[in-house]
Amino acid sequence: MSYTAPSVTASGTTFAEFQAGGASGHLELLIAAQVATVAPTAAPTLSETGSGGTLAAATYYAVITESNGFGETTASPVSAGQAITSTQELVVTFPSLKTGNTSRNTYLGTAVGGPFLLAASGTTASTVTFLAPPATNSYAMKPPTVNSTGLTYTDANFNVQCKRLELLRSAKDGNLESAYKFLRQVIYDFNKGNPMSFGGTVSRLRDAHAVFAMLATLCSEMGTLIDANAGTLANSTDTIGLTKLKRTWP
């Protein structure tokens, strides 16, 4: 299993836009550039290999989702079945990632209609091999029924989830502490064993991570613009005849 960090889409902000809008205007352009990604439209393919695995003998099926690190897409179509003996390993081969996504999650089941449980997450390679059954503890999760890869999304109960955007706008208004306090609470609840599902914990962590990842991208983009447009420091006379040092650009 592997955690997927947010993959932030560049804003494409020009130097003129940066000068006109400053840090806040640039952040709004970065926010606008983050759009939900799409779910895989092709099924994974299954095959068997090797020996020495501990998978139960059965015919396995798989669905996959993809992630951009902000959230997770809905599931792909179901794969064709693959029979496995009690000592064989199951290989899942993935279709190409959809634009903006950086990893896959694999869900396995032993019936074409499921249920499917999470067996591997954060896979960046083109295949994943299973030697043992999926976890049956609190880690086990079913594929999501909603796409959570955008800054906002509507959950399965038709509630709009906008914590990422809320924390970003709060940071823009000078309350960056709110994002850190939210992150600190997520970790406190997890470490104390408070009753939050594994999926809920990861989702809340992503909310906080998205804020700091976007702010890091904001700084990087602004640094690139400043570096490429250094301007010139020279004396300038204002409207009342006073001379002062000022930066100007062509």
Domain extents in the chain? 15-35+150-228, 45-130
- Give the tens place of pLDDT for each residue, 54-107: 899 999 999 999 999 999 999 999 999 999 998 899 999 999 999 999 999 999
83 strand-pairing partners: 59
SS3 99: coil
Dist CA 128 CA 47 (whole Å): 11
Q: Which residue, chain included where needed, has tokens 């959950």?
A: 155
* pLDDT(144) > 90: yes
Mean model confidence pLDDT for the chain: 94
**The two three-digit tokens of residue 190, written as one number:** 């997890």
**The two three-digit tokens of residue 98, written as one number:** 């959809």
| Positive/negative CA dihedral, 9, 213, 7, 165 | negative
Nearest to 206 by CA among 220, 178, 186, 181: 186
What is the per-residue pLDDT for 238? 76
User: What pTM does this model have?
Assistant: 0.89
Nearest to 95 by CA among 57, 39, 32: 39
Nearest to 164 by CA among 191, 182, 185: 182
Return the amino acid letter for 152: T
**The two three-digit tokens of residue 196, written as one number:** 């939050």
- Give the tens place of pLDDT for each residue, 24-60: 999 999 999 999 999 999 999 999 998 888 899 999 9
Dist CA 138 CA 237 (whole Å): 69
SS3 106: strand
Dist CA 196 CA 216 (whole Å): 28
Average pLDDT of the residues in 158-187:
95
- Residue 84 phi/psi, 5° resolution? -130, 135
**The two three-digit tokens of residue 87, written as one number:** 């000592």
What is the per-residue pLDDT for 159? 93
Q: DSSP labels for 25-77?
A: HHHHHHHHH--------S--EEEEE-S---PPSEEEEEEEEEE-SS-B--PPP
Q: Which of 48-52, 164-168, 232-236 has the highest average model confidence (pLDDT)? A: 164-168
